[in-house]
Amino acid sequence: NDCPVYEADLSGQGVRDDSPHLDEFVLNAALDIVDDIVWTTTAMHLRHVDKFNEFNVSAYCTAGHTRFMLVHKTRHDNAQAIRSFFNELHDLYIKAVMSPFCTPDARIESPAFDQRVKASAK
């Protein structure tokens, strides 16, 4: 089941010059690649997995095979920042999922989680 548990638009500036759902398409296309790469390494950070025109996709896979995917343009590519962002995201995700009211595979509704993710995104 590949339903997104959570998605957020982290771009700070207002105007996006591409079509609205492009990042969703890019992400879903990258999912297959991620699934292949996951079995080749024991690390959680999968770093840069795919490229589409000028978009890069970075991924991080948790022990439970929950995948975090980040779409970003080349000029923001900063491996260390992405790595630490994924680490923080993982911590926040664990905390959110430990709540008894959060069923696995369900969407994460909590506004607090939303807020913290946006705060930690650069």
Residues 36-95 that bind another protein (CB under 8 A): 88, 91-92, 94-95
Contacts 24+ apart (CB under 8 A), 85-91: 85/120, 85/121, 85/122, 86/44, 86/45, 86/58, 86/60, 88/120, 89/60, 89/117, 89/120, 90/44, 90/60, 90/62
Q: How far is the CB of 52 from another protein (least distance, A)?
A: 32
Q: How far is the CB of 91 from another protein (least distance, A)?
A: 4
Contacts 24+ apart (CB under 8 A), 8-17: 8/114, 8/117, 8/118, 8/121, 10/117, 10/118, 10/121, 10/122, 12/122
Any contact of residue 5 with another protein (CB under 8 A)?
A: no
Any contact of residue 117 with another protein (CB under 8 A)?
A: no
Q: How many residues in the chain?
A: 122
Q: How far is the CB of 101 from another protein (least distance, A)?
A: 5
- CB-wise, 51 or 95, nearer to another protein? 95
Any contact of residue 98 with another protein (CB under 8 A)?
A: yes
Stretch that binds another protein, among 18-26, 50-58, 69-77, 101-109 (CB under 8 A): 101-109
Residues near another protein (CB under 8 A) are 88, 91-92, 94-96, 98-102, 109-110, 112-113
